[in-house]
Amino acid sequence: MDVLKIAAFSDGNIGGNPAGVVLCDTLPSPEKMQMVAAEVGFSETAFAAREKNRNFWRVRYFSPESEVPFCGHATIALGAALAEKCGPGKYFLRLNDAEISVEGEPVGNQYAAALQSPPTRSEKLGDEEIEAVLALFGYSRLQLDESIPPARVHGGADHYVIALKSRNDLRSMNYDLNAGRHFMNSRGLITIMLVWQESSSKFHVRNAFASGGVFEDPATGAAAAAFSGYLRDIEWPRGGKLDIIQGEDMGARSMIAVEFGEEIGSSVRVSGVTRSIE
């Protein structure tokens, strides 16, 4: 089985989040895909097979430990792979729970890709749940940025968002991996996204990904889409563009560009550059 290894949301020729991409005639069994994802060892591997009507590709995503419903960086990597193997353009993807699209095109000696996320939604967290997530990371309420209340957000998968006042507090993120895995799995979360706003349109983030057996994800497109949808819900700039910088504190600086319209719950466009790892 040929596994392409592509870093999505790279910062030029460095950084980004590595993903595996497998293009095949028919999808292997879930057990086989899980085994391959574990062998690849990246936070996610995308498996894609062209459907018979040729308008859609059937796509499933696996982390080393489990299947996930949607993965943004692996979709960006898939868009780059499809552009390289099948030609630049838009490709329609059928996921387990949604239908989305991804576009890919060459940019110099690299490929860029942009996805349209599934619909977004959000709900603010109650006091008890806020205390629980703060305890996991060892933060206090005094460290929270009250302009972005803690929330559960969705853009194809579920995440928590916790906004911090200080860049240093974001830099010091730490938690117990096993405790984080239990916390996330018991709540159906893919990541917990910690955020610091440099400005109203530029954010630095870290994404704890214990649910997938990974301490931290260097670039999380699904969470970026969900977070942008949440900002729209709380009447941040309604319709606009955001730059999200992730992975910097783990030595894998990644750049995620997001564009969204004014309609509450509508799809979010997430884009970035990729680089081939091998």
Write out pLDDT tens, residues 65-121: 889 999 999 999 999 999 999 999 999 999 999 999 999 999 988 999 999 999 999
d(CA 118, CA 120): 6
pTM as predicted: 0.91
- Chain centroid to CA 268: how far? 12
DSSP states along 146-187:
TTS--EEEESSSEEEEEEBS-HHHHHT----HHHHHHHHHHH
Both 102 and 235 in one domain: the answer is no
Give yes or no for a contact between 248 and 204, defined as CB atoms under 8 angstroms apart: yes
Query: pLDDT tens digit string along 163-214?
Result: 999 999 999 999 999 999 999 999 999 999 999 999 999 999 999 999 988 8
**Cβ pair 62, 55 in contact under 8 A:** no
* Share of residues in the chain with pLDDT > 90 (%): 90
In the listed set 114, 133, 148, which residue is the last one of a domain according to the structure? 114
Q: What confidence score (pLDDT) does residue 119 get?
A: 95
What value does the mean pLDDT take over residues 37-55? 91
Mean pLDDT of 154-162: 96
Do both 26 and 134 map to the same domain?
A: no
Phi and psi for 229 in degrees, rounded to 5? -60, -35
What count of residues does the chain have? 278
Q: What is the CATH number of the domain that holds 95?
A: 3.10.310.10
- Summary mean pLDDT of the chain: 95
- Structural domain ending residue among the three candidates 68, 85, 114: 114
